[in-house]
Chain A
Amino acid sequence: MSFDVAAVERAAAQVTLKLPRVPHRGRVGDVRSASVGSSMELHDFRRYHPGDDVRHIDWNAVARTQELVVRVRQEEVSPRVEVLLDASKSMAVSEAKGARGKEIAAWLCSAAQRSGLEVVLTVLGATPRRSAGADCRTALLSTVLDGVEPLPAVLQRAPPLRPCGLRVVVSDFLVEAEPRPLVERLARHAAGTAFVQVLDDEELSPPRGLGAQLTDSETGEALERRLSDAVVDAYLLKLEAHVAQWQLAVERVRGLFLQVSAAAPVDVLARRELAALCEVA
């Protein structure tokens, strides 16, 4: 199962991304920014400081208050969408999982571009890379899921996150760490965050009865187990608890947590599990 470009295009053609109802920051456009600027819409008044544009002095206010007061106007920006794709080896435990992660990231980029939004893609792999605009598609096609470090460690090395945009993180979030600090960090300075968890079918419902030497995709650590009903049930309980922890942490930052199965095609996911991220055009 490889990267299905047609399915991505199909899924992106019908939708536009939902933007958060908080100010954005980005290119000049038709959405109000959180920063001051020079649009016609008044944002605030403040005292004049040397260096301020004298054209912004509100002479009526000066007349009324006998103080130099400048009008602060809100900047008009085009909103930014930042997609973070976890490119660790755990995302490649199956071909379907690897392909689906990339397809969801591509879908987000494509849908954002169709909506005229500025798109930034950061691939968090062995060598974190950032691409923007039309390069995102090319970057995704050439992405190798080869990271072996956990997500928090990769974020340390990654380019700084862009503030004030919609930030979507695509990962399996199967990190043996407390999710709250990581989620807070991922949500910091973002206007809105969404966490898309991609899990393989066998991760959601492991086969029972077989014996297996389980090997961690990233650390190489091995564990020999008989996948008896009891063992699989215990695994599912732990997975459920782990996901619940992540959901709680995401709710705390008012983000959106979406879990998808890699078994479903991306256009189906866009209509179902990922529908919360977009609006039908």
Chain B
Amino acid sequence: MTALTPLGLLALLAALPITAAYFLRRRQPPRVVSALFLWRQTDQLAEAGAKFERFSREASLLLELLAVVLAAVYLADLRLSTPQTAPHVVVVVDGSLSMRAKSGGQTAAERAVAVVLAQVGRTPGTVATVIESGLKPVVLAGPRADERRVKDALSGWQPNQPAHDLAAALVLAREMSSLKEQRVLLVTDGPVPENLALPGNVDVTSVGKALDNVAFVSAQRHDERGLTRVTLRVTNFGTESVEVPVRLTLDDGGVREQPLSLLAGKSGVVRLEVGTGGPIDARLPDDALVEDGRLTLLPASDAPVSVGALPGLDAVAKSTLERFVAVAPAVTSSATPALGVGPPGSSAQLTVGAAPPLSSFVGPFFALKGHPLLDDVELGGVVWTAGANPPGRPLLSAGATVLVSEEDDGRLHFNVELARSNVQRTPAWPLLLMNAARQVRGRLHGFPRKQLMLGEDVRVVTRAQVASALVGPRGQKRQVVGAGPLVLPPLSSPGRWVLTEDGTVVDELEVMAMDPHESNLTGRGPFEHVATEGLPLASEAAQLPRSRWPLLALLAALGLDFALTASRRRRPAEAGVAS
């Protein structure tokens, strides 16, 4: 008999206090009496019991001692025979999308699985830990899974990750190795990037092949007044010129096709205008990597934002607002608006106006770079008359005067006296208002962006007191915890994802399998790298997985003990006498 973790035998020490607790006299609950002398008796010592009382709960004690022994057996990993070791293989498989490139009827991912299974099946009893690389490495099988479990785990594996660094997966592989010196196998589809410093104990084998591929590299959809403009950029990642038809399928069943001639390594753009408001499927002919030639463009999130003037707004501001609503897309006028515009000092979502003393500025204007409210806003030639500084964080200022500010709750303040400014006659003014409307739209319920690239964070606005979840194209479900505007980690696979609330679909988005680096298969191909140090790949240092039967037996013993103790308590209660 051998204990593989001898320190676990220390658990046996728990038997001492347990036994002592059973034999030691129990401390009785305190009770105050008026006359203690009436309770004293000549045979008091005998009645009270000595330091040790008669042992009367043998079954319970024996069960608890058995539990201690079982715990020690489990922790010490006690084996009846000599240590049974099994070869342990740690493999990192490249999880990038390019692994789905097909050649000769087989994808690189399928070849990678074959390599892993060959390693596991080389020696009977071999166990394996398989890690998929990605933005966040994931353990696909294991730790120390046997051959059958490895097969099960890899049977439906579909790599979907965008281009990523392999280092994180290799670090995880090293941590999951039986020994630090154990070698790790990396299965990928091409040479490792030059910027990746391979540890000395990593073997690399490539199952990829250099292939030609044509792929979408960008896609845009713009919906305006019933007209949809689609712009698609297609790149020929091949060594020869090709002519490919780009095929668009509309939601009404209509098909548009546009041929595109592409030189080797060059891109071309397809622009189409269609009159549909529904999803549009774009397809390229199937090639080595099918996934990057298919995408769906969902209608943009252009839910109309209601804008309205609140009481007290001056006439000039009201007039400019009416002009803006009349021409701005996806903006409506409402008496109870989502974007209420009011005078300074009001509780409106946006205040327009200035409180004396007034000063006029022609520049220079200082803007908070990158803030969405100031997107595309040009202030050249603008005369801006402002008053006392409004509350909130300055977004735009001139000298010491804050022209535009934002409060923590999202309220905006335009410190401008329009009667003495010309900003309302420049393109900056509708842009500012449009950006403000867009900010309000961004806080509306659902996905602010309907199209995401692989590996992009997901922005979503959820409601409180409902169970929100994201459901993927293959039925995979991810619970969304929290309410309000949230930023979630990237979604795991390309395709259509829906947002559900209490099981009801409320919005959807499309994750597009577009990544030029992954679509470019020309640089893939055979690659081998042999580890310069470390133990053999299938290290013999790993032992068979720890047996779980002692743990189960321990739980059974504790359960039985609990049942025994409970029945002992119940019995006196039923008889009306406490024991």
Q: Tell me whether A and B are bound partners.
A: yes
Binding site for B on A (CB under 8 A): 90-91, 93, 172, 174, 176, 200, 203, 207-217, 219, 221-226, 228, 230-231, 234-235, 238-239, 242
Contacts of A231 in B (CB 8 A): 39, 41, 47
The answer on a CB contact under 8 Å between B34 and A213 is no
Q: When the two chains form the complex, which single residue of A172, A215, A226 contacts B31, counting CB atoms closer than 8 Å? A: A215
The contact sample of 21 A-B pairs, CB cut-off 8 A, is A200-B34, A207-B578, A210-B28, A210-B578, A211-B29, A212-B28, A212-B31, A213-B30, A213-B31, A214-B33, A214-B39, A215-B32, A216-B34, A216-B36, A221-B36, A223-B36, A224-B25, A224-B48, A225-B47, A239-B38, A242-B35
Q: Assess A217 versus B34: contact at CB under 8 Å? Given A209-B577, A225-B48, A226-B49.
A: yes
Q: When the two chains form the complex, which single residue of B28, B34, B41, B572 contacts A211, counting CB atoms closer than 8 Å? A: B28
Q: How far is the CB of A247 from chain B (nearest CB, A)?
A: 16
The answer on a CB contact under 8 Å between A212 and B29 is yes
The answer on a CB contact under 8 Å between B35 and A176 is yes
Contacts of A200 in B (CB 8 A): 34
The answer on a CB contact under 8 Å between A219 and B36 is yes
Contacts of B38 in A (CB 8 A): 174, 235, 238-239, 242
* Size category, B interface: 20 to 34
The answer on a CB contact under 8 Å between B39 and A223 is yes
Q: When the two chains form the complex, which single residue of B33, B40, B48 contacts A93, counting CB atoms closer than 8 Å? A: B33
The answer on a CB contact under 8 Å between B36 and A226 is no
Q: 8 closest pairs, A vs B, by CB?
A: A174-B35, A90-B34, A216-B36, A211-B28, A212-B31, A176-B37, A213-B28, A238-B38
Per the 8 Å Cβ criterion, residues 18-33 of B in contact with A are 25-33
The answer on a CB contact under 8 Å between B39 and A225 is yes
The answer on a CB contact under 8 Å between A90 and B35 is yes
Contacts of A207 in B (CB 8 A): 578
The answer on a CB contact under 8 Å between B48 and A203 is no
The answer on a CB contact under 8 Å between B36 and A234 is no
Contacts of A93 in B (CB 8 A): 32-34
Contacts of A216 in B (CB 8 A): 32-36
Contacts of B29 in A (CB 8 A): 210-213
Complex Cα distance A211/B577, Å?
Answer: 12
Complex Cα distance A89/B38, Å?
Answer: 17
Q: How far is the CB of B164 from chain A (nearest CB, A)?
A: 67
Complex Cα distance A263/B381, Å?
Answer: 96
Complex Cα distance A91/B47, Å?
Answer: 28
Q: 1/0 contact trace for B196-235 toward A, CB 8 Å?
A: 0000000000000000000000000000000000000000
B579 at the interface (CB under 8 A from A): yes
Per the 8 Å Cβ criterion, residues 313-349 of B in contact with A are none
Q: How far is the CB of A48 from chain B (nearest CB, A)?
A: 58
Q: When the two chains form the complex, which single residue of A176, A209, A212, A234 contacts B41, counting CB atoms closer than 8 Å? A: A234
Complex Cα distance A214/B47, Å?
Answer: 14
Complex Cα distance A231/B40, Å?
Answer: 9
Contacts of A203 in B (CB 8 A): 33-35
